[in-house]
Chains A and B, each alone.
Chain A
Amino acid sequence: NAGVTQTPKFQVLKTGQSMTLQCAQDMNHEYMSWYRQDPGMGLRLIHYSVGAGITDQGEVPNGYNVSRSTTEDFPLRLLSAAPSQTSVYFCASSYARDYGYTFGSGTRLTVV
């Protein structure tokens, strides 16, 4: 049981490049979400999903896209990276009948 797996752990991008942060869970959790962590601001919700095929925006969705084609995967796409997207990104999942959250280990992204 791997829990929530995020890849890659570290990434450096040039401004304007695109990339996908991967998030996969093997616990059959219905709910998944992406957060970014910036110094002094805690974690802020980017996008979330309440099930396969259903996604919605969080507090800071601009510049990011998501999709949820399967229960297991919830990738986060940066279409045109900007320095303001330099951050640590966390993915989390949650089971409907339990109100706990399982977090991945994070992806540290630097946009230069």
Chain B
Amino acid sequence: AQKVTQAQTEISVVEKEDVTLDCVYETRDTTYYLFWYKQPPSGELVFLIRRNSFDEQNEISGRYSWNFQKSTSSFNFTITASQVVDSAVYFCALSDLDTGRRALTFGSGTRLQVQP
């Protein structure tokens, strides 16, 4: 069975600090996708990134960066120079392709609070 673990329930930082959100996953599949979503206080799910299991290159998008390490089954998310607008709940998710189910397994989320 698939599983996604986000051990950090809540993180509080002061604006301009860097923060890393951890994500560890379990799957027996060889082909899968990993995702990060942001859920601001308004409640919608905002897609941030998708990474397939064959692409271990790290990715940077502005202040956001992602570190995918297959050897440790981790897909960590770093926000550099955090801002108050980054305050949200962040979810890591896994989608297996081998079973053809095409649905997501989510972690329990990490609530990030950025203090001014």
A residues neighboring B (CB under 8 Å)? 30-31, 33, 35, 40-45, 48, 50, 56, 58, 88, 90, 92, 94, 96, 99-101, 103, 105-106, 108
Contact = CB atoms under 8 A, between A and B. Distances in A.
B113 interface: no
Given A40-B108, A44-B106, A103 B45 contact: yes
Given A35-B104, A45-B103, A50-B101, 6 more contacts: A40-B109, A48-B103, A99-B50, A99-B97, A101-B47, A103-B44
Interface in B1-25: 4, 6, 9
Interface size grouping (class) on chain B: 20 to 34
11 contacts: A33-B104, A35-B106, A40-B109, A42-B91, A42-B109, A43-B104, A48-B102, A50-B101, A58-B103, A88-B43, A99-B33
Chain B interface mostly: loop
Interface string B75-116: 000000000000000010101010011111111110000000
B27 interface: no
Nearest to B111: A40
B36 to A, nearest CB: 12
Contact of B104 (A40, A92, A106, A108): A92
B43 A106 contact: yes
Given A88-B43, A99-B33, A103-B45, A43 B101 contact: no
The 10 A-B residue pairs whose C-beta atoms are closest, nearest first, are: A42-B106, A31-B102, A43-B106, A42-B108, A33-B103, A48-B103, A103-B45, A99-B33, A45-B103, A42-B109
